[in-house]
A and B are shown apart, each in its own frame.
Chain A
C-alpha cells in the first residue's frame, strides 16, 4: 500500500529537481508559452502512440522533440511573431490530439490523467524513465550552463565571444521538450508549465545569482511535490493539481520577502 506513495514521491522529486534550473531559463527567456505548446503537443504524442501501438512514453518524447525542432526552424524563418507561431502550433496540436483520441473508440484513454497527471499510478518502469530523462537533462544543463546564461543575457555578444548560439538554443529547446515529456505523468499536460515557472518565480525573490536561483527553484519544486502529495494522501485531493497549488502558495510566501538583486 505504501509502495505507490514512495514511487509517486520519488517520481515527483526527480522531475522537481530538473524543473528548478530549467524553469529558471523558461522564466528568464520568457519561454512559458513555448512550454505550453510542447505540453499540448504531448497529448498528440499520446494519441499517435495509441494509434500506432507504440510505447506512449516514446511517442510523447518523440513528438515533443520534433515539435521543438520544428519551432526552432520556424523561429529562424522569422515569418511570424513567435507568440503567434506558438499559438498556431499549440492549439492545432492540442486539437489534433483530442480528435485522434476521440476517433480511437475501441480504446479508452483516460483524458483526465493526461490533462492533470496521474502521479499515484507511477510504476517502477516509469521511475526508470523519469530518472534517466531527468539525469540527461540535468547533465546537459550543467555542461551548457555558462553558454546558456551567456546567450540568455545577450546572444550577439555571446556569438562574438565564440559561442554557437543556434546550437545552444536548440539544445535548450530539446532539453525542455524532454523534461516536459517526462513531467507529463506527474502533473499532466495542462499544469506542466506551472511546475516549471512557479518555483523559479518564487526563487527570484530571494536570490541574487543565477545559480542560487536554480537551486532554490529546485528545492521549492521538491517541497511543492512533498506537500502536494501529503495533501493528496490526507485530504484525498488530486496529486498533480495539489502540487501546483503548493507551488503557488510558496510563491505567495516569497512575495513577503524583499526582492534581492
Chain B
C-alpha cells in the first residue's frame, strides 16, 4: 500500500516575479488521498500542474515512480459549442473503446448521458463525466482539481463518496484540490494547507487545530471557512442537517 508515486523536494515556482510556490516538499503514496486546501491564489493549481508535469518548477525536483499513470480531472472544460461532440466521444479521446467509456459512465452514475452533447451537460453531470474520463486509462494516480466545483451540496457528498470508492477499487493515490475542508474530512488521509508555502499538514483533525490553519482561514479566506472548521471539528462526517445549517450561516454572514 505504501508505494510512493510522486515525491516533490523543495519545489519553488515564480510567475512574473511573484513567488507562487516556495519550498514545497510532499509525497504522494498509492492508496492515499491527499487534499490540498488553501485560499484563492495560494498556488494550489500551480502545485497540481507541477505534479502533472504540465509546468516545471524553477527550483527543486520531482521524482515519479516508473509505472506512474496519471488520470487528471481539470476544474472545468470549456468546449466551444460549435464543436459537436457527444459525451461518449469526449471520453474516447482518452484512447479507449466504446465499452470502456460506457462502463466508466456507469461507474460514476450517469450511463444515460453517453449520447448527450458534451456542452449540454449540467454542472453535476459535467463533473462526473470529467471524473469518468480521468479513470479511463486505469491510473494509479488521480489528480482532481476542485472536483465538486459547481455541484450542489448533496451532489458534493455523493461525489466525494464516489472518489473514496475509486481509491479502493483502483487502488490509486489521489491528490485533490479543495476550497473547503469540512466535506472532504471523512475521505482524506492527508491534508496540506497551502498558502504559497505549506503552512501545515497532517491528518484532517490535526490540521484544523493548527494555528497556521486558523490564521489563514480566519484572516484571508472567505467567511464560510470560519464556520467550516468549527463544524468540521464536531465530527468526521457532516450529516445533511449540519451542511444545511452551514449554508444558512453563510448567507447571513
Residues of B23-52 at the interface with A, using a CB-CB cut-off of 8 Å, are: 49, 52
Q: Which residues from chain A contact B71 at a C-beta distance below 8 Å?
A: 160
Are B82 and A153 in contact (CB-based, < 8 A)? no
Are B52 and A153 in contact (CB-based, < 8 A)? no
| Minimum CB–CB distance for B190 against chain A, Å | 22
Q: Given A30-B80, A154-B74: A160 and B86 within 8 A (CB)?
A: no
Q: Which of A149, A152, A261 lies in contact with B86, CB distance below 8 A?
A: A261
| A contact face: mostly helix, strand, loop, or mixed | helix
Are B83 and A153 in contact (CB-based, < 8 A)? yes
A70 adjacent to chain B (CB < 8 Å): no
Are B74 and A157 in contact (CB-based, < 8 A)? yes
B184 adjacent to chain A (CB < 8 Å): no
| Minimum CB–CB distance for B120 against chain A, Å | 8
Q: Given A30-B80, A201-B82: A160 and B117 within 8 A (CB)?
A: no
Are A209 and B82 in contact (CB-based, < 8 A)? no
Cross-chain pair count, CB within 8 angstroms: 69
Q: Which of A27, A29, A153, A260 lies in contact with B77, CB distance below 8 A?
A: A153
Are B84 and A260 in contact (CB-based, < 8 A)? yes
Q: Given A146-B93, A156-B72: A207 and B77 within 8 A (CB)?
A: no
Are B54 and A152 in contact (CB-based, < 8 A)? no
Q: Which residues from chain A contact B225 at a C-beta distance below 8 Å?
A: none
Q: Given A30-B80, A150-B93, A204-B82: A261 and B117 within 8 A (CB)?
A: yes
Q: Which residues from chain B contact A160 at a C-beta distance below 8 Å?
A: 52-54, 70-72, 143
Q: Which residues from chain B contact A261 at a C-beta distance below 8 Å?
A: 84-86, 117
| Minimum CB–CB distance for A257 against chain B, Å | 13
| Minimum CB–CB distance for A78 against chain B, Å | 10
Are A152 and B84 in contact (CB-based, < 8 A)? no
CA of A194 to CA of B70 in the docked complex: distance in angstroms? 41
Are B117 and A208 in contact (CB-based, < 8 A)? yes
A87 adjacent to chain B (CB < 8 Å): no
Q: Which residues from chain B contact A212 at a C-beta distance below 8 Å?
A: 84
CA of A160 to CA of B137 in the docked complex: distance in angstroms? 11
Q: How large is the interface on A (under 10, 10 to 19, 20 to 34, 35 or more residues)?
A: 20 to 34
A89 adjacent to chain B (CB < 8 Å): no
**Interface code B86-126, partner A: CB below 8 Å = 1, 0 otherwise?**
10011001110000000000000000000001000000000
Are A209 and B84 in contact (CB-based, < 8 A)? yes
Residues of A16-42 at the interface with B, using a CB-CB cut-off of 8 Å, are: 27-30
Beta-carbon nearest neighbor of B84 in chain A:
A261
Q: Given A28-B83, A201-B82: A209 and B74 within 8 A (CB)?
A: no
**Interface code A86-114, partner B: CB below 8 Å = 1, 0 otherwise?**
00000000000000000000000000000
Q: Which residues from chain A contact B86 at a C-beta distance below 8 Å?
A: 208-209, 261
Q: Given A156-B54, A157-B72, A160-B52: A209 and B89 within 8 A (CB)?
A: yes
B79 adjacent to chain A (CB < 8 Å): yes
Q: Which residues from chain B contact A157 at a C-beta distance below 8 Å?
A: 72, 74, 77, 93, 133
Q: Which residues from chain B contact A149 at a C-beta distance below 8 Å?
A: 85, 93
Are B95 and A154 in contact (CB-based, < 8 A)? no
Of B77, B80, B93, B143, most buried by chain A (CB within 10 Å of CB) is: B93
CA of A157 to CA of B134 in the docked complex: distance in angstroms? 9
Are A161 and B84 in contact (CB-based, < 8 A)? no
Are A210 and B84 in contact (CB-based, < 8 A)? yes
Residues of A179-213 at the interface with B, using a CB-CB cut-off of 8 Å, are: 200-201, 204, 207-210, 212-213
Q: Given A149-B93, A150-B93, A157-B133: A28 and B74 within 8 A (CB)?
A: no
| Minimum CB–CB distance for A246 against chain B, Å | 21
**Interface code A138-160, partner B: CB below 8 Å = 1, 0 otherwise?**
00000000100110111011111
Are A207 and B94 in contact (CB-based, < 8 A)? no
Q: Given A149-B93, A209-B89, A261-B117: A156 and B82 within 8 A (CB)?
A: no
Name A residues whose Cβ lies closer than 8 Å to a Cβ of B. Answer: 27-30, 146, 149-150, 152-154, 156-161, 200-201, 204, 207-210, 212-213, 260-261
**14 cross-chain CB contacts under 8 A:** A27-B80, A27-B82, A28-B83, A150-B93, A153-B77, A156-B72, A156-B74, A157-B72, A157-B77, A159-B52, A160-B143, A161-B93, A200-B82, A210-B85
Name B residues whose Cβ lies closer than 8 Å to a Cβ of A. Answer: 49, 52-54, 70-72, 74, 77, 79-80, 82-86, 89-90, 93-95, 117, 133, 137, 143
Known: A153-B93, A161-B137. 12 other contacts (CB 8 A): A27-B82, A157-B77, A158-B93, A159-B52, A160-B72, A201-B82, A204-B82, A204-B84, A208-B84, A213-B84, A261-B86, A261-B117
